Structure 1
Amino acid sequence: MKCSGYMSPEYAMEGRFSEKSDVFSFGVLLLEIVSGRKNTSFYHEEFELTLLGYAWKLWNDNNVIDLVDPLIYESGFKMEIIRCVNVGLLCVQEFVKDRPNMSTVVSMLNSEIKDLPAAKQPAFTVRRGAYDSESSSNQNQQICSINDVTVTLMEGR
């Protein structure tokens, strides 16, 4: 899959859709908001990671603050930001059974659930082509761009 965007793994790979597919999409959106980066255009050259993979790496390195967009970071809200990243990672779990439902996500974000479960490695962490033998210039052409635009004008006869 070149650009997973907000598509859950079960939908992208098998065409199955459920309420947990929406949870996956919400998790991607939450990580995009916290990081200030789009999932579909993110490319971390050193590790060839997607935004989800980069968030997971920083989470495991205990360095989540490096993910946070400096424009929204305030040290007084560090725990809330870390909670948002944790919830985002829980939402983008590869397997449906590992994702919370949306009402649980809301409770987690409202801090009604104090102890959050441990996240596992999310889906779509490595950019497609990262281990291919293609040259890096060919790989860069496969990256989805948020700037590709098609304009169609309708004119009557």
Structure 2
Amino acid sequence: MEIRIVTVGKIKEKYLNDGIAEYAKRLSRYCKLTFCQVPDEKTPDKASDALNEQIKNTEAQRLMKQIREQDYVIALALDGKMLDSVELSEKISHLGVEGKSSIAFVIGGSLGLGEEVLRRADYKLSFSKMTFPHQLMQMILLEQIYRSYRIMNNEPYHK
């Protein structure tokens, strides 16, 4: 299975890059992991709602260029379904059984995902009702994908 992490913006903090690299290394024994990053748009302070929508749409167009037809798209969205770790593991496992060979997890920028991406999504996933920085969310997502594979393989992992 190929797991694709499609995101807006670069990871700037060293500690996040280190954490992402660690989980990428751990995941390499379970799946093919690829990263696709698109540039983020600068968001001015006190931007109008219209400008915020325009920024989200521009970022969405960039993300859509990275999403392939064969990808099963899981968009991270506040209004998505909340799963526990076992349920996420079951979701990934079932997708593999159904013949899906590529799952693209899509993380938006600071304003979230544009409508074009949300319409393309096969599934919307929420980690919490809280908002997380999109850069931190990438590391949290990778940890949960790693945990999912450990669960699928009946391997121990701290609780």
Q: Same fold (TM over 0.5)?
A: no
TM-score normalised by structure 2 residue count = 0.26
Q: Which has the larger radius of gyration?
A: 1
Greater percentage in strand:
2
